Structure 1
């Protein structure tokens, strides 16, 4: 497989996962705002922080009101991390490599982009928002099902899976990081009702609430949620599971030693983390997640140096500044 084809498939998968996760965040936050007290100092700003687009948002908007945030994350073509922009990039990456995937996969990506573009042109109104977001999520899941059910095991499928899992792990860390400041209880023995609701929203944004209830079988508590989302080996959106899937998929590729070793180091940090210490210290959790995101950047750079550019080039490590760096700033050659 040509390195350019592999790179396009990798980024196509990252963009689709990004669009789906952004839609999930908006949907869950909309419902959470209805349940929380009006005087609670929360709102729409955390969503901008989660996506790492705070600087870009502030350049164009004065306040974090609902209309501005929803437009910025759904339909803003100048925001490379909006749902519309992500799907446009996914479509373009797949368009140039469509001969290596079944026609149905290309048609689903194209149909999803055109539908979102048409909806965005008429505005994402509060009345239509819920249906719009559900359609994005369902279509992304349909695409995942088509890939799983029609694409042969081989390099094409491998690079798609690598992109999906790395983007998924990155989004999970962002959600945990931004929510942690207001979620972590001042008294670890007693969670306030609104803190319980917020932890539930974290689980629901990752479609992990029902699996949490089945496995943990206790009320929703911060330490248990952190352990579940960081270390559970079976939850598809848990960081440990995503990294394990990455390592497994890499076994199908040649020259994978350096990448596998990099993934193993990051996964060891996740598995060995002291959850109790992280759960009761926002500063420690923030520092730990920053380290993980630097680790994800290292995985990406090692992948890029091994498969997407001259393999003799030394991998370049991107230093990500917590939640401040835009997703769109990391692409090179989409």
Structure 2
């Protein structure tokens, strides 16, 4: 497979996964704000914190109000983590490799981008937001199933898995970091009655509430949730499961020694701690380490399998 094609497939997968994740966290945050009293509700800034794009946001918006944050996360094409930017970038990557993906998948992605752009103003309203985001998530889930069920499971499919699950691991660590460390301060004892709501929101951000209850069979609590989302090997959105899937795909690819070595270091770091024993500050530092590992693994993947783009024609692919 040409390295250019492999890179396009990898980024197609990452951008599609990014759009779905962003749609999910916006939906969950809106529901969370209805569950918590106004005095302690986190507002909308934590969603920008999750993307790590605060500097860009503050260059173009005056405050972290609901409408501003929603515009930034859903429809601001200057932001590589926005839904519209992600879908457009995925569409462009897919357009250049249409021979490698099923025609139906290309058509679905193209239709989804056009719908997301045309219905953007409706999606930014309180009344239209839920159906807009639900359509995006369901369409991407359909596309994912279509690729799994109809695409050749060859090297191209392996790069789809590497991109999807590395992006998913990245988003899972971001959600855990912001939601667990910033939502309800540990020292605020008067807020402890709302702790369960906090951790339920973390699980729901990753569509993991039902899976958690079935797997852990205990009430929702900090240590168990952190272990489940970071280290559980059977939950598809846990960091551990994502890394296992990335490794299984990379093992099928040629010249994989460097990426597998970096991956092994990442997995050892993940398994070296008992998450529930970490304080807020220690958890934040640990998540920072995992974020560095995500970046290092991406860099090694790019160095090994993707050519450096010519300076004059470099794509603005971004980890966001």
TM-score normalised per structure 2: 0.93
The answer to whether residue 283 in structure 2 is matched with residue 285 in structure 1 is yes
Secondary structure in structure 2 of the residue aligned to 1:105: helix
- Tell me the equivalent position of 1:299: 297
1:100-149 CA-to-partner distances (Å, cap 9, x unmatched) read 11101111111111110111155621100000010011011001101110
Distance 1:271 1:191 in 2: 31
Contact kept, 8 Å, 1:277 with 1:284, in 2: the verdict is: no
Aligned to 1:276: 276
SS state at 2:219 partner: coil
Note closer, same or farther for the CA distance 1:122–1:183 as it changes in structure 2 (3 Å cut).
closer
Helix, strand or coil: the match of 2:119?
helix
Q: Give 1:182 shift.
A: 3.5
For 1:160, the equivalent position in structure 2 comes to 160
Kindly state the Cα deviation for residue 52 of structure 1 after the two structures are TM-superposed: 1.2
Once the two structures are TM-superposed, the CA of residue 81 in structure 1 deviates from its matched residue by 1.2
How far is 1:196 from its partner?
Answer: 1.1
CA 1:197–1:282: 2 relative to 1, 3 Å:
same
Hey, what does 2:311 align to over in structure 1? none
Moved more, 267-276 or 164-173: 267-276
In the alignment, which residue of structure 2 is the partner of 1:319? none
- Give the Cα separation in 1 of the matches to 2:28 and 2:165: 21
Answer with 182-191 or 35-44: which moved more.
Answer: 182-191
CA distance in 2: counterparts of 1:183 and 1:67, whole angstroms: 20
Where 1:192 maps in the other structure, the secondary structure is helix
Q: Which runs of 5+ in 2 are unaligned?
A: 309-315
- Write the distance in 1 (CA, Å) between the matches of 2:235 and 2:268: 17
Distance 1:183 1:123 in 2: 26
Residue 10 of structure 1 aligns with which residue?
A: 10
Structure 1, unmatched stretches of 5+, are 311-326
Q: Deviations over 1:264-319 (max 9, x none)?
A: 110111122122332xx111111111111111111111111110027xxxxxxxxx
Q: Distance in 1 between matches of 2:150 and 2:306?
A: 25
Residue equivalent to 1:201: 201
Quote the RMSD (CA, aligned, Å): 2.0
CA-CA distance at 1:191 after TM superposition: 7.9
Aligned to 1:309: 307
Other-structure match for 1:125: 125
* 1:1-334 alignment, distance < 5 Å: 1-121=1-121, 124-182=124-182, 186=186, 192-278=192-278, 281-309=279-307, 329-330=318-319
SS of 1:244's equivalent? helix
**1:190 shift after superposition:** 11
CA contact (8 A) 2:184 2:198 kept: no
Seen in structure 2, the aligned counterparts of structure 1 residues 253 and 188 have a Cα distance that, compared at 3 Å, is farther
Paired with 1:186 and 1:57, the residues of 2 have a C-alpha distance of 28
CA drift of 1:185 comes to 6.6
Q: Is the 8 A contact 2:172 2:238 kept in 1?
A: yes
The total of aligned residue pairs comes to 313
